[in-house]
């Protein structure tokens, strides 16, 4: 069995007491297998950052336990040496250059290596701007440097909280490529929290969606998105085609010449055959899966 990089076991986190008590995380259980990109999603206030802070042992769960690589993080703090993180934005000494900031962090962590710092600067696209004072960096540049800082110790687990914040489209594409390379080429595990659902859909192997501190959906991205499919059919005459299929399938109109059928890929041949034998002209059949954005809103709105 593959090693679990993260195991969040029935974790609960409460802030305040009495009438001011807030259940930020409520009986949350997650298992993140090593060697994948795992997306951690939820609306604002869902408990994502609180969960990440408990994973990193920055705050203590009210109940439950967090394990990293099989070790309870509360009692084996050394396991955090296998973790690199960018949480709640990157901050640096403004009067130092980007390179000097990384050097300070590396020396503090006990893994100073000028060659590795240079390679990381190249990896995140900051080599040509590394010797400028950090106070002049844009938000996107700071995020790139933050990812480099998270990778300084060559961690096995990388936790990234909104890593594409402040990046332009080209920068977002670069970040997406970098995250996949960390997993596919270097064998790392990436735990990714992001509001960029389209990006998450493209790079994550599995996702968990939480709402109001509770887990509402979890699974492999491909499997979750395949749960709901529909066929977009272009046919003529469209009214006749819809009448033919209406007794057996749920339909919805889509313009003057096409419509949707709530059906899976495996039903497409049967549907086309029925239309053709009934005299309809079929010009195009497209199979459409739900997007991660559609799944996200359905899951979080349904949990409210």
Q: Are residues 161 and 256 in the same domain?
A: no
Lowest-confidence pick of 89-93, 112-116, 214-218: 89-93
With beta carbons less than 8 A apart as the criterion, state whether 134 and 126 touch.
Answer: no
Residue 77's pLDDT is 84
Q: Are residues 103 and 31 in the same domain?
A: yes
Residue range 260-292, pLDDT digits in tens: 998 888 899 999 999 999 999 999 999 888 889
Burial of 143 (0-12, 13-18, 19+ CB in 10 A): buried
Domain membership of residue 299 (yes or no) is no
> What CATH number did the domain enclosing 246 receive?
3.30.70.270
Residue range 29-44, pLDDT digits in tens: 999 999 999 999 999 8
At a CB cut-off of 8 Å and minimum separation 6, what does 168 contact?
Answer: 140
With beta carbons less than 8 A apart as the criterion, state whether 255 and 229 touch.
Answer: no
Indicate the number of domains in the chain.
2
Residue 291's pLDDT is 86
> What CATH number did the domain enclosing 42 receive?
3.40.50.300
Q: Are residues 256 and 218 in the same domain?
A: no
Helix (H) or strand (E) segment spanning residue 32: strand 22-33
Last residue of a domain, one of 169, 202, 224: 224
Report the percentage of the chain scoring pLDDT > 70: 98
With beta carbons less than 8 A apart as the criterion, state whether 206 and 2 touch.
Answer: no
The pLDDT of residue 247 is above 50: yes
With beta carbons less than 8 A apart as the criterion, state whether 65 and 118 touch.
Answer: no
| Structural domain boundaries enclosing 251 | 226-294
Report the percentage of the chain scoring pLDDT > 90: 69
Taking residues 127-150, report their average pLDDT.
Answer: 93
Helices 139-150 and 98-109: crossing angle in degrees, nearest 10, is 30
Domain membership of residue 288 (yes or no) is yes
Q: Across-strand partners of 211? A: 214
Please tell me the distance from the alpha carbon of residue 17 to that of residue 32, in angstroms, as a whole number: 32
Identify the residue with better confidence: 94 or 165: 94
Last residue of a domain, one of 199, 224, 249: 224
pTM of the model: 0.85
Taking residues 68-95, report their average pLDDT.
Answer: 90
């Amino acid at each position: 069995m593959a090693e679990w990089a993260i195991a969040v076991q029935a974790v609960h986190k409460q802030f305040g007491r009495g009438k001011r008590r807030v259940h930020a995380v409520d009986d949350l259980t997650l298992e993140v297998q090593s060697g994948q990109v795992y997306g951690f999603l939820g609306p604002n206030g869902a408990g994502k950052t609180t969960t990440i802070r408990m994973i990193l042992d920055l705050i203590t769960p009210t109940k439950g336990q967090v394990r990293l690589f099989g070790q309870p993080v509360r009692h084996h703090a050394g396991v955090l040496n296998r973790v690199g993180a960018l949480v709640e934005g990157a901050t640096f000494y403004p009067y130092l250059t980007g390179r000097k900031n990384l050097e300070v962090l590396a020396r503090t962590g006990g893994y100073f290596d000028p060659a590795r710092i240079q390679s990381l600067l190249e990896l995140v696209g900051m080599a040509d701007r590394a010797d400028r004072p950090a106070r002049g960096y844009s938000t996107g540049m700071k995020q790139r440097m933050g990812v480099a800082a998270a990778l300084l110790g060559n961690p096995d687990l990388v936790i990234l909280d909104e890593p594409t914040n402040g990046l332009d489209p080209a920068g977002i594409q670069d970040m997406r490529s970098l995250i996949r390379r960390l997993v596919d080429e270097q064998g790392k595990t990436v735990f990714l929290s992001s509001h960029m659902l389209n990006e998450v859909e493209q790079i994550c192997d599995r996702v968990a969606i939480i709402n109001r501190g509770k887990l509402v959906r979890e699974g492999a991205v491909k499997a979750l998105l395949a749960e709901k499919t529909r066929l977009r059919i272009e046919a003529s005459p469209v009214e006749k085609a819809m009448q033919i299929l209406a007794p057996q399938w749920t339909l919805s109109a889509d313009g003057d010449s096409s419509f949707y059928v709530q059906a899976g890929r495996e039903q497409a041949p049967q549907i086309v055959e029925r239309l053709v034998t009934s005299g309809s002209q079929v010009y195009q059949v497209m199979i459409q899966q739900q997007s991660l954005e559609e799944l996200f809103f359905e899951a979080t709105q349904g949990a409210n």
